[in-house]
Amino acid sequence: MLFFWLVLLLLLGLFSYSAVKQSVGSMTRTPVWLLWLVIMLPTFVLTAWAVVRSAERPPLGLLLVLFLACPLLYWLLVQWGRQPAANPPLQDGALAQPNSTPLPPKPALRPIDKAEEATLQSCFPWSVYYLQNIEYRPQAMICRGQLRGSPTVAYETVRDNVRRHFGDRFLVIFQEGLQGKPVFALVPNPQVQATGTPDQRRHTRPGVALGLLLATLLTTTGAGAVMAGVTEADLQASPALVLQGLPYALALLLILGCHEMGHYLTARRYGMQATLPYFIPVPFFLGTFGAFIQLRSPVPHRRALFDVGIAGPIAGLVVTFPLLFWGLGQSTVVPLPETGSGLLSFEALNPNASLLLALLTKLALGQGLAANQALHLHPVAIAGCLGLVVTALNLMPVGQLDGGHIVHAMYGQRTGAAVGQIARLLVLLLALIHSELLIWAILLFFIPAVDEPALNDVSELDDRRDLLGLMALTLLVMIMLPVPAPLARLLF
């Protein structure tokens, strides 16, 4: 068994080293091995704890130090050794370049001559956007004027004109300025090589994605076997018992995979470059820390930002609900512990910890669960419950989380950032009542509140998307909030 975990740890180390090298190796002078050691430190420490003191759970203080201090130290080391930028950053209030994190550093803006300036001015028809002046900045040309029509028509007209005259040389950005007036900016296209042709290299990295998926399948199968009651002695006597963890592993990977594929397929539908889903295997606890994709190109407009943000939760819930419903029906009723339980208390889960979970439990079990009883979850139900937790965490309206994308697309970048700050405080207050939310509350304060802007960050959403966004935020509240006492008496 120890050899099995050591092999998994080796595979995880190799994949994580490759991921760190490819993501930040060219951005910073800090040695890649040091960054890798910091990001892997929680895995090393908790694996050693499981080997030496397998009967004890790691203390909360140790978990907080590992999962808060290590990411912060990683970020500080990256910033400490970051390569100096060729140009100082653009300073214009809310106006910022749409530099998605994975994009390479922006090249210096090539100066335009008088003939090109006249051509640029002709790209702004007075009937849609009356151009008043052009400001030259180290990294952009700011084009200020008066909007005379629909923001969508104005942006598409100017963008198409710039492409016709300048090709792929510039990205055209449309955002709210300091006085609330829409402002255009032209920045060098970071995806164009020095030859002036777009970089068509593939960004999916299928080998890395497949390797991480297989490693996560192994770690989640091992975690699922433990949840099914298989002990280390049982595994030594019959290694095939580890297959009892497959229901949990396959259900959880299906939920996480569908969530991330929702993001990926929607991004590709809008012509955005994105990586395949990367799973994060860990050889302890739940067997994984989830999955993610990386966008490799800017978001074209707020509609695309909204659709990409909400597609993940919708796709994940489409498979979470039936799996959770079936798993709840296979779970065992047990006495409710005196100390209470939360969403992660799988051995004695109190459905009243979540309004949505309570409603699903009522549908699955009917009168089979009384008010003073809890559930010992079936492994598939554990995966479904984790699907709800993952959805709730991603729907938090903060920064670059899915919920942050949604509120940004609905209300604009500035209002979205304000909503994110309020959400952080509300979760922190809620953590005073439900202590299991404390880690969530702390993690949210490490996520930047301001989301990256879209290229056209002015055009608003339609009513259908606004309604869908409100429904998504309502779903977040239903997952996060416990059942009120009067409603609990009616349900159970």
Round to whole Å and give the CA distance between 63 and 46. 9
Q: Do the Cβ atoms of 414 and 314 come closer than 8 Å? A: no
Distant-in-sequence, close-in-space partners of 33: CB < 8 Å, separation ≥ 6: 17
The tens digit of pLDDT for each residue in 192-202 reads: 644 444 443 45
467 and 419, same domain (yes or no) = yes
Do 327 and 440 fall within a single domain?
A: yes
Token digits of residue 166? 């300048």
Dist. CA 271–CA 308, nearest whole Å: 12
Out of 145, 166, 201, pick the residue that ends a domain.
201
pLDDT of residue 430: 77
How do strand 278-281 and strand 332-335 relate by DSSP bridges? unpaired
- Residue pLDDT, tens place only, 65-85: 776 677 778 778 877 876 554
Query: In a structure prediction context, what are the per-residue pLDDT tens digits for the chain, which is 492 residues long?
Result: 455 556 556 666 666 676 667 666 666 788 888 887 877 787 777 777 766 766 566 676 676 677 667 777 877 887 787 655 443 333 333 333 333 344 444 444 555 778 888 888 999 999 999 998 888 887 788 899 999 889 999 999 999 999 999 888 889 999 887 777 899 999 888 766 444 444 434 566 788 888 889 989 998 998 888 888 887 777 778 888 888 999 999 999 999 999 999 999 999 999 998 889 999 887 777 888 888 888 888 899 999 999 999 999 999 999 999 999 999 989 888 888 876 666 777 888 888 888 999 899 888 888 877 778 888 899 999 999 999 989 998 999 988 899 999 999 999 888 888 898 888 888 888 777 666 677 777 777 777 777 888 999 998 899 999 999 999 999 999 998 888 877 777 776
Same domain for 299 and 162? no
Which pLDDT value is given to residue 484? 83
Query: What is residue 431's predicted lDDT score, i.e. its pLDDT?
Result: 75
Decide if 127 contacts 149 (C-beta within 8 A).
yes
Amino acid at residue number 241? L
What is the distance between the alpha carbons of residues 217 and 282, in angstroms, rounded to a whole number?
Answer: 10
Q: How many domains does the chain have?
A: 3
Residue with tokens 């963890």: 245
Whether residues 296 and 334 fall in one domain: yes
Instruction: Give the chain's largest Cα–Cα span.
Output: 81
Measured CA to CA, the distance from residue 186 to residue 163 in angstroms comes to 11
pLDDT of residue 179: 72
**φ, ψ for residue 276, nearest 5 deg:** -70, 165
Distance (Å, whole) CA 438 – CA 186: 43
Residue pair 265/247 in contact (Cβ under 8 Å)? The answer is no
Q: pLDDT value at position 5?
A: 57
Asked which of 84, 106, 127 is the last residue of a domain, the reply is: 84
Q: Which residue, among 210, 225, 222, has the nearest Cα to 291 in the 3D structure?
A: 210
Using alpha carbons only, what angle is made at residue 468 by residues 321 and 357, rounded to the nearest 5 degrees?
Answer: 30
- pLDDT score recorded for residue 6: 62
Q: Are residues 277 and 425 in the same domain?
A: yes
Q: Which residues on neighbouring strands pair with residue 279, listed in sequence order?
A: 291
Task: Please give the DSSP secondary-structure letter assigned to residue 435.
Answer: G
Q: DSSP state, 101?
A: T
Q: Say what the pLDDT of residue 23 is.
A: 61
Give 131-188 as a DSSP string: EEEEEE-SS-EEEEEEE-S-HHHHHHHHHHHHHHHHTTSEEEEEEE-TTS-EEEEEEE
The domain of 52 spans: 1-84
Query: What is the C-alpha to C-alpha distance for residues 358 and 221, in angstroms, rounded to an integer?
Result: 28
Q: Are residues 19 and 95 in the same domain?
A: no
CA distance 176 to 151: 11
pLDDT value for 129: 93
Check which CATH number belongs to the domain holding 190 and give it: 3.30.980
- Are 161 and 179 found together in one domain? yes
- Distance from C-alpha of 485 to C-alpha of 492, rounded to nearest angstrom: 11
**Alpha carbon distance 176, 97 (integer Å):** 12
- Asked if residue 308 lies in contact with residue 299, where contact means CB atoms within 8 angstroms, the answer is yes
| Cβ 203 vs Cβ 186: under 8 Å | no
Q: Model-level pTM?
A: 0.76
Do 349 and 324 meet the contact criterion of CB atoms below 8 Å apart? no
Cα–Cα distance, 420 to 441 (Å, whole number)? 12
Residue 293 near residue 278, CB atoms below 8 Å = yes
**Residue whose pair of structure tokens reads 């994975």 in the numeric block:** 102
| Side chain identity at residue 77, one-letter code | L
Q: Are residues 379 and 401 in the same domain?
A: yes
Secondary structure (3-state) at 390: helix
Residues 184 and 241 both lie in one domain: no
At residue 42, the pLDDT reads 76
pLDDT of residue 169: 86
Residue 123 and residue 54 in one domain:
no
Q: How far apart are CA 229 and CA 246, in angstroms?
A: 13
pLDDT at 429: 81
Angle in degrees, CA 26, 31, 36, rounded to 5: 95
Domain co-membership, 197 together with 207: no
Q: Which of 186, 201, 216 is the last residue of a domain?
A: 201
What is residue 198's predicted lDDT score, i.e. its pLDDT?
45
- On whether both 147 and 216 belong to a single domain, the answer is no
Identify the CA nearest to 203 among candidates 291, 267, 274, 264: 274
Which residue, 318, 317, 316, 324, is CA-closest to 259? 316
CA torsion through residues 253, 254, 257, 260, sign: negative
pLDDT given for residue 229 in this prediction: 83
- What's the confidence (pLDDT) of residue 9? 64
Residue that has been written with the tokens 């209002």 in this structure: 415
